[in-house]
Amino acid sequence: MIVRILGEGQFRVDDIIADELNHLDTELETAVERGDEAAFSAALTGLLAQVHAQGSPLPPDILEPSDLILPHEDSSMDEVRKLLTDEGLIPG
Partner 1 sequence: MLMKGTAARMGVMKRVSLVFKAKANKALDKMEDPRETLDYSYQRQLEMLTKVRRGVADVATSRKRLELQMNQLQQQSNKYDDQARKALGLGREDLAREALTRKATVQGQINDMSTQYAQLQGEEEKLTVASQRLQAKVDAFRTRKETIKATYTAAEAQTRINEAFSGISEEMGDVGMAIQRAEDKTAQMQARAGAIDELMASGALDDSIGGRRDDIQSELDMLSANSDVESELNRLRGELSAGAPKQLEGGSNGSQTGQPQTGQSQAPPTQYAPPPPQAPPYVPPVQDGQPTGLPVADVPQDGDVS
- For residue 40, the minimal CB distance to partner 1 (Å) is 10
Per CB under 8 A, 77 contacts partner 1:
no
CB 84 within 8 A of CB 29: no
* DSSP letter, residue 24: H
Check residue 7 for interaction with partner 1 (CB under 8 A). yes
Distances from the Cα of 82 to the Cα of 16, 54, 79, angstroms: 30, 28, 5
- Number of C-beta neighbours around residue 56 at 10 A: 9
Contact status: 90 vs partner 1 (CB under 8 A): yes
Q: How far apart are CA 48 and CA 9, in angstroms?
A: 12
Footprint on residues 11-40 left by partner 1 (CB under 8 A): 21-22, 25-26, 28-30, 32-33
The binding site for partner 1 (CB under 8 A) comprises 3-4, 6-7, 9, 21-22, 25-26, 28-30, 32-33, 47, 59-72, 80, 83-84, 86, 89-92
